[in-house]
Amino acid sequence: MRFIIRVVINAFAIWVATLIPVLTVSVLPIHFGWEGPIAEILTLLIVAAIFAIVNTIIGTVIKIVAFPLYILTLGLISLLINGFLLWLTAWLTHWWQWGLRVDDFWWGIVAALLITVINWILGIILRPKRKH
């Protein structure tokens, strides 16, 4: 259940990042036989699932290996790592001619920062309450 919530939040955050005209991040929809918002929503959900899997598997390994850099840069290296993970997601979906497109790595870092902030805010709002 947590993974599904995380995917939906990621899809919303990626959608918001694609709305900013300065950012050259866009979503190319999958053609399921129909066009319109349903194809775009399904594409966003699939891209968000791929981003969540990339962030969980590869992001965890990179963050463990780069732990000394986190200390040296006081955590600012996380901006580059998140931008790289977003770019990696775009590269993975590029092979099928649909999905995320990040034209510039540095704008990808800005988009990753925006996605992180939206995930953080929505994570606080939608976090299940713990029983004591």
pLDDT at 23 > cutoff 60? no
Q: Are 13 and 24 in contact (CB under 8 A)?
A: no
* Predicted pLDDT of residue 67: 92
Does residue 131 form part of some domain?
no
pLDDT, residue 93, reads 84
Burial 59-85 (b: 16+ CB within 10 A, else e): beebbeebeebeeeeeeebbebbbbbb
pLDDT in tens, 25-83: 566 666 666 667 777 788 888 889 999 999 999 999 998 999 999 999 998 898 899 98
**pLDDT band at 107; cut points 50, 70, 90:** confident
Q: Write b or e for each residue in 27-56: b if 16 or more Cβ atoms lie within 10 A of its Cβ, otherwise e.
A: bbbbeeeeeeeebbeebbbbbbbbbbebbe
Residue 86, in any domain of the structure: yes
Is 132 part of any domain?
no
- As a whole number of angstroms, the distance between CA 50 and CA 90 comes to 9
pLDDT at 54: 92
Confidence at 12, pLDDT banded by 50, 70, 90: very high
Range of the domain at 117: 2-126
Q: State how far the alpha carbon of 7 is from the alpha carbons of 40, 65, 76, 103, 104, in Å.
A: 15, 25, 25, 23, 24
Predicted TM-score (pTM) of this structure: 0.81
- When pLDDT is averaged across residues 103-118 and rounded to a whole number, the result is 87
What does DSSP assign to residue 128?
Answer: P
Number of structural domains the chain divides into:
1
Q: Measured between alpha carbons, how far is 90 from 22 in angstroms, rounded to an integer?
A: 18
- Is residue 104 included in any domain, yes or no? yes
Which one has a higher pLDDT value, 126 or 80? 80
CB of 10 closer than 8 Å to CB of 52: yes
- What pLDDT shows up at residue 99? 78
Phi/psi of residue 102, each to 5°? -120, 110
